[in-house]
Amino acid sequence: MRRASAAVVTAGAVLTAGALAAPAQAATPTPPTIVAKGGFVMNNGTGKSLFTKAADTRRSTGSTTKIMTARVVLAQANLDLDAKVTVQKAYSDYIVDNNWASSAKLIVGDKVTVRQLLYGLMLPSGCDAAYALADKFGSGSTRAARVQSFIGKMNSTAKSLGLKNTHFDSFDGIGKGANYSTPRDLTKLASSAMKYSTFRTVVKTKSTTQKVTTKSGGYRNMSWENTNGLLGSYSGTIGVKTGSGPEAKYCLVFAATRGGKTVIGTVLASSSVVNRTADAKKLMDYGFKK
């Protein structure tokens, strides 16, 4: 009888010790409050949605449109990134004519490569670089026709990616009222663009100096700074693109990798540069905890 009793006590002690050793359940993180009118975050590896706020409400996208501009270029068959494009006066005139047009400060007559135009497009958010790429990769006998052709490619790409709430009427986000997307769609677009190694390299670059050929055959250096304030201020940031405008307010498509996990997302219509960056940081913090 004594042996049986001892066995019972021992088993009870083991059960008690096991209960004490059980790890505490991690507290479920509280979804953050953001200033932006729309937001979305997903796990880039699984596609799982981690946060939504008006994620399917259509809004003006500003220069986040340029993600699609780059995506269309990079999807071209037999793309030669070192092919040279001569900067036309029309590109610089476009900057002058549009008050909200950000510029890569391309100089008429210079010969720049497609790769350099992608840096000029994505870092300083050059609308002149966007125009040059649309002119280069659109089809048609006139510049206007080529631009419309390129915008058509942007919309057909959106359709092929299943972006049902996205439409473009410009190559750079300075649209005529029919340039819109949603936080969810823009995040999916960015995720698709990040599959291109050139895109990944460009959008994680904080600054660059590029040597271009001048009209006279000499060389000049073009220096560009990335408008994405997350680079250098948020550990693990790998992109992606800022946007702003009178209608769009302040937008940011963002991505970061930590511990082998990549979160990617979008905020649309935040109230300032500072707040869109703060919104993105909150959402990434939350995404990494989920």
Residues assigned a catalytic role: 63, 66, 125
Q: Which residues contact 227 (CB under 8 A, 6 or more apart)?
A: 102, 123, 124, 125, 242
Kindly report the backbone phi and psi dihedral angles of residue 11, in degrees, each rounded to the nearest multiple of 5, phi listed first. Answer: -60, -40
User: Which amino acid makes up residue 273?
Assistant: V
Residue 97 CA from chain centroid, whole number: 26
- DSSP code at position 227: -
Coil, strand or helix: which one is 113? strand
Cβ pair 267, 279 in contact under 8 A: yes
Q: Where are the beta strands (DSSP E) in the chain?
A: 38-43, 49-53, 59-60, 84-86, 111-113, 180-181, 207-213, 219-225, 237-245, 249-258, 261-270
Tokens representing residue 40 in the block: 């979305």
**Alpha-carbon dihedral of residues 194, 195, 201, 206, nearest 10 degrees?**
10
What radius of gyration do the chain's Cα atoms show? 24
Counting Cα atoms < 13 Å in the Cβ hemisphere of 14 gives 6
| Angstrom distance (rounded) from CA 89 to CA 54 | 41
Cα–Cα–Cα angle for 25, 31, 33, nearest 5°?
150
Residues in Cβ contact with 80 at an 8 Å cutoff, skipping those fewer than 6 apart: 114
